[in-house]
Amino acid sequence: MRTVITGGAGFIGSHLCDYLIEKGHEVICIDNLLTGKAENIVHLIGNSQFRFIKHNVSDYMYVDGHVDNVLHFASPASPLDYLEFPIQTLKVGSLGTLNSLGLAKAKKARFLLASTSEVYGDPQVHPQREDYWGHVNPIGPRGVYDEAKRFAEAMTMAYHRYHQVDTRIVRIFNTYGPRMRMKDGRALPNFMHQALKGEHITVFGNGSQTRSFCYVSDLVDGIYRLLVSHEHDPVNIGNPEEITVLQLAKEILAITESKSKIIFHPLPVDDPRIRQPDISKAKKVLCWEPKVSRNDGLHKTLTYFKDALQGLNDNPGDKENKENCVSIH
Ligand code: UDP
C-alpha cells in the first residue's frame, strides 16, 4: 500500500503516519508546517517506508508513481489557529480538498477526508448523529473552519457520485494525546500547560459548556477501520463520554497535583454549548468504540507534556529538527 497523508506532520496526521508504517504502508507525508511540526515526524526520517514533502496542498500537488490511498488531514484545526489563519483555513478546506481529490482520481486511489464535529456547529440535536445537518454561523469567526469542512464534505461526495472516486468521510470529535501543541489554544493542552507551569487555568464562560474527549490511539484505530470499510457516508469518530469544561479543568488540576487557580474568561463567539458524538453508526458499521479511559489518556498525555516541557527547557531543538526534516525530501 502506498498512502499519501496531507497534514502528516500534524497532531493526528503524524499518529496516522506511524500507524500505517507499522501496518507496512509506504507513507508520503505532505505538509507545509504551518501548524504541523517537523518534530512530530523527525523519528521517521531515514525510514525507507517514509517520505516527507514540504508543500502547501492548496497548490497543485504532484506525486510520482502509483498511490493506493489519499488521506486529507491538512488544515489548521484549533480555534486559535483558524482565527490566526482564516484564509489559509478556507483555502486548504476548499482548494486543498480539490487537489487531494484530484490526486485520488488521477491515481484511482481511495480518498479519506478528515472532517469534523464542527460541521454540526452549535448543535440543536444532542448527541450529534450523522444525519443531523448542523447549526453553523457561516459569517462568524469559526465559519472559516466550519464552512470549509462542510464544503469539503460536499466536494468529496460530488467526486464520489460524479467521478466514482472511492471516498470516505470521518467526522472527528475533540481528540487529545501526545504531540498536541501545548499552546494551541485548545482547552485540554492549555489547561495542562497552565497547571504544570503553576499559571491560572483559564476557563471560558462559566465552564458549563460540554465536550467529549477521545484519546488519539482510539481515533486512529477508528479512522483505519473506516478506510478499509466500504462506507461512503460520514461516520462520527469520538468518545461519547461528555464532561463540562469546568470538570475537565478540575480533573487536570487533580492529576497534575497543581495548585493553579481556576479563573473565568469571556466565552468566545459561537462557542458550541454542547458536544457529544452519537457513535451508533461506528459501532455498527466499523465494530469500533473507544477503549482508552479519560483517566488513562490524561495520564499518558501528561507524561508527554512533562517531557516536552523538559525538552523545551533543555534545548530549543524544534528549529533544528525542522531544518533537518525539510532538507530530506
Ligand atoms: N476553553 C476554555 N479555556 C481555554 C481554551 C478553551 O475554557 O483556555 C473552552 C472553549 O471555549 C470551549 C472548550 O473549552 O468551550 C473546548 O475548546 P477547544 O478549543 O478545546 O475546542 P473546540 O471544541 O471548541 O473546538
264 lines ligand 1 (CB under 6 A): no
- The reply to whether 145 belongs to the active site is yes
pLDDT surpassing 60 at residue 11? yes
- pTM greater than 0.85: yes
Which three-class secondary structure state does DSSP give residue 69? strand
pLDDT surpassing 70 at residue 30? yes
pLDDT surpassing 80 at residue 259? yes
Q: Domains in the chain, please, with CATH?
A: 2-328 (3.40.50.720)
Q: What is the mean pLDDT of residues 134-157?
A: 97
Cell 482508552 belongs to which residue? 292
Q: What is the mean pLDDT of residues 111-126?
A: 98
210 lines ligand 1 (CB under 6 A): no
Q: What is the C-alpha to C-alpha distance for residues 131 and 199, in angstroms, rounded to an integer?
A: 42
Which three-class secondary structure state does DSSP give residue 244? strand
Beta strand 69-72 with 110-116 is parallel
Backbone angles phi, psi at 289, to 5 degrees: -155, 155
Which three-class secondary structure state does DSSP give residue 249? helix
204 lines ligand 1 (CB under 6 A): yes
Give me the pLDDT at residue 325, please: 34
82, 120, 145, 215: which is the annotated catalytic residue? 145
The pLDDT tens digits for 273-320 are 999 999 999 999 999 999 999 999 999 999 999 999 988 544 333 443
The pLDDT > 90 percentage for the chain reads 92
Ligand 1 atom with the shortest distance to the CA of 207: 7
pLDDT surpassing 50 at residue 34? yes
Specify the amino acid at residue 263.
I
Q: Ligand 1 mean position to 294 CA, how many Å?
A: 17
174 lines ligand 1 (CB under 6 A): yes
212 lines ligand 1 (CB under 6 A): no
pLDDT, the chain, mean: 94
202 lines ligand 1 (CB under 6 A): yes
pLDDT surpassing 90 at residue 128? yes
Give me the pLDDT at residue 312, please: 57
Residue nearest to atom 19 of ligand 1 (CA): 186
The pLDDT > 70 percentage for the chain reads 95
Cell 470538570 belongs to which residue? 247
CB 170 within 8 Å of CB 113 = yes
CB 175 within 8 Å of CB 238 = yes
pLDDT surpassing 80 at residue 321? no
Q: Ligand 1 mean position to 80 CA, how many Å?
A: 10
Q: What is the mean pLDDT of residues 248-273?
A: 97
Beta strand 210-212 with 242-244 is antiparallel
Give me the pLDDT at residue 329, please: 30
For ligand 1, mutation pick of 128, 137, 211 (most atoms within 8 Å of CB): 211
Q: Ligand 1 mean position to 76 CA, how many Å?
A: 15
Cell 500500500 belongs to which residue? 1
